[in-house]
Every structure is written in structure tokens, then in C-alpha cells.
């Protein structure tokens, strides 16, 4: 599995494993979380995506319990986590309404919680989860710079940011932002043509793609896209999901798909996507099916 440079001393695996759904699994025991991590590591998938809010603010703790039971794993993985969404559940159950908080105080408190819950002493990459219409970029930027300076986070990125959100925050930071984590798949491909991908490509910054299988819809919904995914999968002796991931990997923007399956046997074959060689016409056959019409 090739690796993507993030900073001068940090790289991510090309395919990332996401833990949004970790708490939805019927088995959340540390041993099973460990088995998922080890199945990823066996394929060279070393980067794990978390967020404070996942699982009602409980997913980081599920990972932390697994890492506590198997501390040797801590040196083998990179952890990305996020902050900024406050929903009235879990430790924020007393809040009146779901909202965003990118204040320095909230970000710093969230990082402390993430470190404690995951039992780690630094976060490899902290992402601001969503653009916050109330963001005071000077306050947020200074807080993020200070967290990098303190060593509690090694790098900073954003998620679901448009280019103008990125430049606003970056204008108030000394630390370069390293990535934007956006929705990108055959079911959500606007970023490829609306400037979001181009903005990052121009800056030579890699993109993290969330819900690369459309949250499973690509595989569970009858569609022309799925038919092509299956046909191409047969050619390469892989399943349709692997072809959907290969479609992202084939793009020149160095897209890192974040896979969300809880199924251990699916996790064990996540790297099958690398077996698929996607030529331009196959890429466009899938894109055309996803658009529902021929390109103009």
C-alpha cells in the first residue's frame, strides 16, 4: 500500500479506515476492535479516522479501550480525529441545540478529551469537522497553532470546507493545513467539478474522501453504476466495492478513501481496490452512469 505524505514526518496509508460506525456494531469489545485494526494493518492500512462526536461521543473511547488492551498498536497507527460539532447527546446532553463551536476554549477542551479517551499523548491530525458560520478565524487559528506548538497535535486539517472557508482559516494560521476531508464517491462527485478538488490539487494537498461507497448505497441500490462496478469487479476478481474505491484512487488528486465497513471479512479485503487497473474509458463509464447521462 503506498503512502501519502502529510507533513515532513507524517504519512498516511492510501486507504484509511473510518470509525464513525464503530459503535453501531453488535460487537464493540476491545478484542474485536483490535481485530479490525489488525486486519487493516495486515494490508498496510495504518491510518484511522475518528471524531469526538462519533457514536454519540463514545467512539474514541471504544478505540481507546482497544489500544489500552493492546498498547503495542499505538506505535503502528496514525490517528485523525475531529472536533467542532456539539450535539445534545453524551457529554453535551445538557445543550439545547446542535451547533458548531470552533472557539479556542472548545477546541482545546475537545483535544484534551480525545487524548484522554483514546489513551494517546498526541493526535496525528486534528480536523475542524465542519465550517462554522460563527468561526472567529483569528481565535480558531491561534488555538490550532498553539496546539501544534504544544505537541498535542502533530498537524491540522479541515473537513467539509469549501475553498473560501479554507483560505479564511489558513490566513490566521502559521501552521499549514494538510488536508480537507470531504464527501466524495460515485454517489457524491460534485467536488470533482465545483472547484473543491481543484483547489487542493493546485496546492498539492491530498484529499480524504468520506463515505466512498455512498454509505453502502452504491452496493445496496440497484443502478447502472452498480452493474458496471460488478462487471469490472468480475474482470479483476474483486467485488464491486473494490472497483468503487479504485475509481477514487485512479483520480490524480491523491484521494484517500476512508472505508467504513464494520464487517471483518470486508475489512480484510479493503486493499483489493489496489488490484484494479482503471483505464480512462472505464473511469468515464462509471462517471457517466453516476451522472445518469453522457458527458456534454
Cβ–Cβ < 8 Å for 188, 155: no
List Cβ neighbours of 13 (8 Å cut-off, separation of 6 or more).
1, 3, 4, 44, 45, 46, 47, 78, 256
Measured from the CB of residue 258, what is the shortest distance to ligand NAP in angstroms?
A: 4
Contact between 194 and ligand NAP per CB under 6 A: no
Q: How far is CA 129 from CA 26, 252, 272, in A?
A: 26, 25, 29
Cβ–Cβ < 8 Å for 52, 81: yes
- Output 49 or 147, the one with its CB closest to ligand NAP: 49
CA torsion sign for 146, 147, 148, 150 is positive
Site string for ligand NAP, 153-192 (x = CB under 6 A): ------xx--------------------x-----------
Kindly name the residue from 17, 54, 57, 100 that is annotated as catalytic. 54
Contact between 100 and ligand NAP per CB under 6 A: no
Tell me, yes or no, if 287 is annotated catalytic: no
Is 201 exposed, middle or buried, given 0-12, 13-18 or 19+ CB atoms closer than 10 A? middle
Measured from the CB of residue 87, what is the shortest distance to ligand NAP in angstroms?
A: 13
Contact between 215 and ligand NAP per CB under 6 A: yes
Measured from the CB of residue 244, what is the shortest distance to ligand NAP in angstroms?
A: 8
Give dist(CA 262, CA 3) in Å, integer: 23
Strands of the chain, DSSP E: 3-7, 10-13, 16-18, 47-49, 78-83, 85-86, 99-100, 125-128, 156-159, 177-183, 207-210, 255-259
Binder among 21, 137, 254, 275 for ligand NAP (CB under 6 A): 21
Measured from the CB of residue 294, what is the shortest distance to ligand NAP in angstroms?
A: 26
Contact between 263 and ligand NAP per CB under 6 A: yes
Give dist(CA 15, CA 180) in Å, integer: 15
Contact between 223 and ligand NAP per CB under 6 A: no
Binder among 20, 161, 199, 247 for ligand NAP (CB under 6 A): 20
Of 70-78, 98-106, 147-155, 261-269, the segment contacting ligand NAP by CB under 6 A is 261-269
Of 169-177, 188-196, 211-219, 287-295, the segment contacting ligand NAP by CB under 6 A is 211-219
Is 256 exposed, middle or buried, given 0-12, 13-18 or 19+ CB atoms closer than 10 A? buried
Contact between 210 and ligand NAP per CB under 6 A: yes
Contact between 262 and ligand NAP per CB under 6 A: yes
Give dist(CA 74, CA 64) in Å, integer: 10
Residue least distant from ligand NAP (Cβ):
260
Binder among 28, 102, 225, 261 for ligand NAP (CB under 6 A): 261
Give dist(CA 46, CA 42) in Å, integer: 9
Which residues are the active-site residues?
Answer: 54
- What residues make contact with ligand NAP under the rule CB under 6 A? 18-21, 49, 159-160, 181, 210-216, 219-220, 239, 241, 258-263, 266
Amino acid at each position: 500500500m503506498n503512502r501519502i505524505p502529510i507533513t515532513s514526518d507524517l504519512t498516511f496509508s492510501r486507504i484509511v479506515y473510518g470509525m464513525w460506525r464503530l459503535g453501531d456494531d453488535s460487537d464493540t469489545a476491545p478484542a474485536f476492535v483490535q481485530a479490525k485494526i489488525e486486519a487493516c494493518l495486515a494490508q498496510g492500512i495504518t491510518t484511522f479516522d475518528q471524531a469526538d462526536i462519533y457514536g454519540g461521543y463514545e467512539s474514541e473511547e471504544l478505540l481507546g479501550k482497544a489500544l489500552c488492551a493492546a498498547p503495542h498498536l499505538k506505535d503502528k497507527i496514525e490517528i485523525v480525529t475531529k472536533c467542532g460539532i456539539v450535539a445534545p447527546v453524551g457529554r453535551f446532553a445538557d445543550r439545547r441545540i446542535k451547533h458548531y463551536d470552533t472557539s479556542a476554549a472548545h477546541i482545546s477542551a475537545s483535544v484534551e478529551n480525545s487524548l484522554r479517551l483514546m489513551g494517546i499523548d498526541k493526535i496525528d491530525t486534528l480536523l475542524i469537522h465542519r465550517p462554522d458560520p460563527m468561526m472567529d478565524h483569528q481565535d480558531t487559528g491561534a488555538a490550532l497553532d498553539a496546539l501544534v506548538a504544544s505537541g498535542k497535535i502533530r498537524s491540522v486539517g479541515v473537513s467539509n470546507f469549501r475553498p473560501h472557508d479554507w483560505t479564511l482559516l489558513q490566513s490566521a494560521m502559521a501552521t499549514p493545513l494538510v488536508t480537507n476531508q470531504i464527501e466524495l464517491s460515485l454517489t457524491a462527485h460534485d467536488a470533482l467539478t465545483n472547484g473543491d478538488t481543484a483547489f487542493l490539487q493546485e496546492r498539492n494537498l491530498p484529499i480524504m474522501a468520506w463515505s466512498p461507497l455512498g454509505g453502502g448505497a452504491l452496493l445496496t441500490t440497484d443502478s447502472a453504476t452498480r452493474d458496471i462496478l460488478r462487471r469490472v469487479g468480475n474482470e479483476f476478481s474483486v467485488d464491486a466495492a473494490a472497483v468503487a474505491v479504485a475509481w477514487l484512487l485512479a483520480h490524480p488528486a491523491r484521494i484517500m478513501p476512508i472505508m467504513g465497513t464494520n464487517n471483518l471479512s470486508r475489512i480484510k479485503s479493503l486493499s483489493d481496490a489496489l488490484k484494479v487497473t482503471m483505464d480512462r474509458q472505464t473511469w468515464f463509464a462509471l462517471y457517466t452512469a453516476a451522472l445518469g447521462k453522457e458527458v456534454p
